[in-house]
Amino acid sequence: MNFHDLETPCALVDPDVLEGNVRAMSERAGRLGVRLRPHTKTHKCVEVARLQVRGSFGGITVSTLAEAERFADAGFGDITYAVPIAPGRVERAARLEERIERLALLVDHVDAAMAVERHGARRGRALPVFLKVDCGYHRAGVLPDSDEALGLARNLAHSQWIEFRGILTHAGHAYHSRGREEARAIAEQERDVMVAFRDRLASAGVRVSEISVGSTPTMCAAEDLGDVTEMRPGNYAFFDAFQTAIGSCRREEIAFGVLATVIGSYPRRNESVIDAGTLALSRDPGPIHVDPDCGFGIPVVPGTREPLAGARVAGLSQEHGVLRLEPGDGGTVPRVGERIVVLPNHSCLAAALFDRYHVVRGEEVVDVWRPVRGW
């Protein structure tokens, strides 16, 4: 199939750029002396995960049990489910754990730990668990200086029905950085908080064998991960407009785009309307701390990463995107029927809105990949 025959809106993946991204991160992990356990939440797709683990030990990270089940079916045997486990999901996770080598769970609260423990005792087999640590993002995780953190770590380490794997964090606050230098400082904080917590636990008699960290901005910027044992970036496979704005990648390294058609043209108000709205691009506001006028993604000429002169995606409703041209920027309002590609602000969210990705090399659609959906 030719790229021009695709119905819009649709999701495009550039396989060569994708390959370059996954190879670069793999090499980075090697240079930094840590294992790469890529997060698959960005694409949720077996084909991309296989590329991500090429040359590494093969472990992956997932954000839903649906992903874990699909990847297990495809032969992945070492999976970390990196969202704190809901007590009601332990049973389903344990069923999956029985048919692969290892499914590690996350807890940051004693109630969740007790649910895992009760289940382990019932079936007579321990479940692998990481203690989730808050290294500064303040979304989830125990505060490493708190009494609760120490108490919970002791419970996990001493439980007969839990196999305590180690400590895990995600520096999501790195998304507030304005460039690589700031992201590097957060990577150092992420590492230092975890190593200090490991030492605190060691002096309390709790041995930690794994220290797992990672976000795309911190892992693209880190220069020294010290005693960290593994990294879990995910977005780097596709990258996006946000990562470009904060210096994790160049625009040419974005592997994911949304192909759209111009369905309305309004030269008097310097606007066109495309058929990619919130349900194709997501409503992620993007890197407004770096560029308040970033709009909802970067509109580019199809087949390139060249921005459409003076154009931005100024507004979205469900199935409409408003493309606004700044007068005097040299662009002309695209005409009805023309096609453009939008590099979304957040590829994880935009990709999740499509049931298939068209893999396009040059003008040819060389493959169609089907991601897993649901929870």
Residue 199 in contact with residue 154, Cβ under 8 Å?
Answer: no
Considering beta carbons, is residue 186 or 300 the nearer one to ligand PLP? 186
Q: Which stretch binds ligand PLP (CB under 6 A): 6-14, 15-23, 157-165, 208-216?
A: 208-216
Q: Does 235 bind ligand PLP (CB under 6 A)?
A: yes
How far is Cα 255 from Cα 45, in angstroms, rounded to an integer? 14
Q: Which residue has the tokens 């200090």?
A: 196
Residue 72 in contact with residue 65, Cβ under 8 Å?
Answer: no
Q: Does 344 bind ligand PLP (CB under 6 A)?
A: no
Q: Does 232 bind ligand PLP (CB under 6 A)?
A: yes
Q: Does 170 bind ligand PLP (CB under 6 A)?
A: yes
Least spacing, CB of residue 365 vs ligand PLP, in Å: 27
Least spacing, CB of residue 352 vs ligand PLP, in Å: 12
Residue 213: exposure state from Cβ atoms within 10 A (0-12, 13-18, ≥19): buried
How far is Cα 330 from Cα 327, in angstroms, rounded to an integer? 7
Q: Does 248 bind ligand PLP (CB under 6 A)?
A: no
- How many residues are there in the chain? 375
DSSP code of residue 215 = -
Q: Does 82 bind ligand PLP (CB under 6 A)?
A: yes
Report the sign of the C-alpha dihedral through residues 244, 250, 253, 256, in that order: positive
Q: Which stretch binds ligand PLP (CB under 6 A): 107-115, 141-149, 210-218, 359-367?
A: 210-218
Least spacing, CB of residue 141 vs ligand PLP, in Å: 9
Q: Does 234 bind ligand PLP (CB under 6 A)?
A: yes
Which of 233, 277, 286, 297 lies at the binding interface for ligand PLP (CB under 6 A)? 233
Q: Does 43 bind ligand PLP (CB under 6 A)?
A: no
Q: Which stretch binds ligand PLP (CB under 6 A): 43-51, 115-123, 148-156, 212-220?
A: 212-220
Residue 130 in contact with residue 157, Cβ under 8 Å?
Answer: no
Q: How far apart are the first and last CA of the chain?
A: 32
Report the sign of the C-alpha dihedral through residues 184, 241, 309, 341, in that order: positive
DSSP code of residue 238 = T
Can you give the binding site for ligand PLP, defined by CB under 6 A? Answer: 39, 61, 82, 170, 214-216, 232-235
